[in-house]
Amino acid sequence: MALQNFGVIGLAVMGENLALNVERNGFSVAVYNRTTEKTTAFMENRAQGKNVKPAHSLEEFVASLERPRKILLMVKAGKPVDAVIEQLKPLLEPGDMIIDGGNSLYEDTDRRVADLEAAGLRFIGMGVSGGEEGALNGPSLMPGGTREAYEAIEPIVTKIAAQVDDGPCVTYIGPKGAGHYVKMVHNGIEYGDMQLIAEAYDLLKNVLGLTNEQLHDVFAEWDETEELDSFLIEITANIFKKKDDMGDGFLIDKILDAAGQKGTGRWTVVSSLELGVPIPTITAAVNARVMSAYKDERMAAAKELAGPGGKFDGNTQGFINKVRDALYCSKMCSYAQGMALLGTASQEFEYNLDLGEIARIWKGGCIIKAGFLNKIKRAFDENPNLANLLLAPEFKQTILDRQAAWREVLMAANGLGIPVPAFSASLDYFDSYRRERLPQNLTQAQRDYFGAHTYERTDKSRGEFFHAEWF
Ligand code: 6PG
């Protein structure tokens, strides 16, 4: 009996799509799902006539795979991953490998890599981006963990990943939970991008009064520009065209303004606080989702707390262009924050990340794919130790050229009472980062005043601490 090349456990849509992607690329696949009905339905429909073998027990599944076994888990992050690993462990043999393709917390992946390596097995935590479509036709893959395990799956993952001008959108990210860490930060950046686009939409709709057709045109035009050409801008343009099939008008106007989240954006913020890397744009994006979910409270507050009112009286096309510039400048700051977080995590956790290569594998397949990642890749290829993306010549000049427009947009928004938390967080990041002197001399004075926490002096060496008798 011929053994299958690759196994997939978990047949929700991402698992199904990845299994079909692997099969389409010439590898035989075994599949297993906890509920047999799901497996049967898959075999009778999407997997019909394909080189996919169903298994009805884990024993049967494991026995159907060639060695070393390569088993992709596509189950819910958290306890279900541990539960399946525990069931699989006694069935596996040395050298076999488990690949977790869910959005697992990197710390869980650190632990699982260590546990399985200690048991003679191998473990890969693999970030998979691109949603259902990407999983089927070419995702961006971020595998980290046991190095030899990556070498064993490389022929498969390089085929199933999205392909861009400079190769497949996959690379070995690093040891331990590096793959899931990078995917987590990818998602933090995704939250930032989505919030910045939402703020641009708010401004175009509520300052300028653009209709959905006009919004479609603006975003479609931005998608043609070198700076903003991206998957998220493209789908945004498409969203404004979609009519509501349950009633009149456009669907976008019927969707409740209360955003959900599954946790990866929040984890990014938690990690940034733990590592001491400011990521205010991404933090603002997470908070904006949280605030949006207070729908009932906001509806009540809207009756009590009036804003400034007033109308925009400038040039419409001029303002659209300024919003575009503000969006681009804010986006640069958001990516600068995400990459800085990766840089620090790389040192702190000894991930040895190649930031240029990470930007490259995000160029295709994933939610944040964008032409702009070429520039990020170039910036880190030219200087792998770049302290901050904003200092790379290409970014520096663009932001300096556009900062006036960016500031004008924020002044207009503030004047009219339109919240722009991520645009503002980005500008504050830029203004704080570029300033030689910040007011934290006062913070230090206060700390020393009430708690003798000491301070350094501008006229003495760094690392020399002083205390004053304040009373
Ligand atoms: C991707 C996405 C995906 C994520 C969803 C939902 O890269 O394909 O990041 O992995 O799960 O976007 O995330 P939220 O529910 O937290 O918005």
Same-domain pairing of 67 and 101: yes
**Ligand 1 atom nearest to 264, measured from its CA:** 16
Segment 5-24 mean pLDDT: 98
> Does residue 1 carry a pLDDT above 80?
no
221 carries an active-site annotation: no
Same-domain pairing of 424 and 446: no
- What's the 187 CA to ligand 1 centre distance in angstroms? 6
pLDDT, position 310: 86
Q: What is the pLDDT of residues 186-228, one digit of tens each?
A: 999 999 999 999 999 999 999 999 999 999 999 999 999 999 9
Identify the CATH number of the domain in which residue 470 sits: 1.20.5.320
Torsions phi, psi of 176, nearest 5? 50, -135
Pocket probe for ligand 1: among 261, 367, 368, 369, the residue whose CB has the most ligand atoms within 8 Å is 367
Distance CA 405, CA 336 (A): 20
pLDDT, position 383: 95
> Does residue 135 carry a pLDDT above 90?
yes
183 carries an active-site annotation: yes
Segment 12-22 mean pLDDT: 98
Identify the CATH number of the domain in which residue 156 sits: 3.40.50.720
Residue 304 falls within a domain, yes or no?
Answer: yes
> Does residue 252 carry a pLDDT above 90?
yes
SS3 73: strand
Instruction: Please give the share of the chain, as a percent, with pLDDT higher than 90.
Output: 99
**Ligand 1 atom nearest to 194, measured from its CA:** 17
Write the residue with the smallest CA distance to atom 17 of ligand 1: 261
Among 123, 142, 176, the domain-final residue is 176
Identify the CATH number of the domain in which residue 298 sits: 1.10.1040.10
Residue 334 falls within a domain, yes or no?
Answer: yes
Torsions phi, psi of 163, nearest 5? -110, 130
Is residue 279 within 8 A of residue 189, CB to CB? The reply is: no
Segment 80-97 mean pLDDT: 97
> Does residue 309 carry a pLDDT above 90?
no
Same-domain pairing of 415 and 458: no
Residue 353 falls within a domain, yes or no?
Answer: yes
- What's the 63 CA to ligand 1 centre distance in angstroms? 33
Same-domain pairing of 314 and 209: yes
The number of distinct structural domains making up the chain is 3
Segments forming the whole domain that contains residue 459: 441-471
pLDDT, position 417: 97
Write the residue with the smallest CA distance to atom 1 of ligand 1: 129
What letter would DSSP give residue 369?
Answer: -
**Ligand 1 atom nearest to 191, measured from its CA:** 17
Q: What is the pLDDT of residues 147-184, one digit of tens each?
A: 999 999 999 999 999 999 999 999 999 999 999 999 99
Q: Which of 16, 190, 199, 234 is catalytic?
A: 190
Same-domain pairing of 159 and 289: no
pLDDT, position 39: 97
Residue 412 falls within a domain, yes or no?
Answer: yes
Is residue 272 within 8 A of residue 286, CB to CB? The reply is: no
> Does residue 409 carry a pLDDT above 90?
yes
Segment 37-50 mean pLDDT: 97
Residue 1 falls within a domain, yes or no?
Answer: no
Q: What is the pLDDT of residues 221-232, one digit of tens each?
A: 999 999 999 999
Cis peptide upstream of residue 419 (ω within 30 degrees of 0): no
Among 146, 176, 206, the domain-final residue is 176
Question: Ligand 1 pocket by C-beta < 6 Å: which residues?
Answer: 103, 129-131, 187, 190, 260-262, 264-265, 366-367
Segment 75-85 mean pLDDT: 97
Mean pLDDT of the chain: 97
Write the residue with the smallest CA distance to atom 7 of ligand 1: 129
Same-domain pairing of 429 and 445: no
> Does residue 275 carry a pLDDT above 90?
yes
Same-domain pairing of 247 and 371: yes
Nearest to 9 by CA among 95, 66, 94, 70: 70
- What's the 181 CA to ligand 1 centre distance in angstroms? 14
Distance CA 62, CA 469 (A): 72
Classify burial at 380, counting beta carbons within 10 Å of its beta carbon; exposed 0-12, middle 13-18, buried 19 or more. Answer: buried
> Does residue 314 carry a pLDDT above 80?
yes
What letter would DSSP give residue 285?
Answer: H
Is residue 56 within 8 A of residue 39, CB to CB? The reply is: yes
pLDDT, position 355: 97
- What's the 184 CA to ligand 1 centre distance in angstroms? 9
Q: How far is CA 79 from CA 84, 100, 113, 260, in A?
A: 9, 13, 16, 21
Q: Which of 53, 183, 205, 369 is catalytic?
A: 183
Same-domain pairing of 278 and 224: yes
Among 159, 176, 193, the domain-final residue is 176
Same-domain pairing of 259 and 390: yes
User: What token pair was written down for 233?
Assistant: 């801008």
Classify burial at 66, counting beta carbons within 10 Å of its beta carbon; exposed 0-12, middle 13-18, buried 19 or more. Answer: middle
Same-domain pairing of 218 and 356: yes
Same-domain pairing of 239 and 336: yes
Q: What is the pLDDT of residues 430-444, one digit of tens each?
A: 999 999 999 999 999
Same-domain pairing of 361 and 377: yes
pLDDT, position 197: 98
- What's the 186 CA to ligand 1 centre distance in angstroms? 9
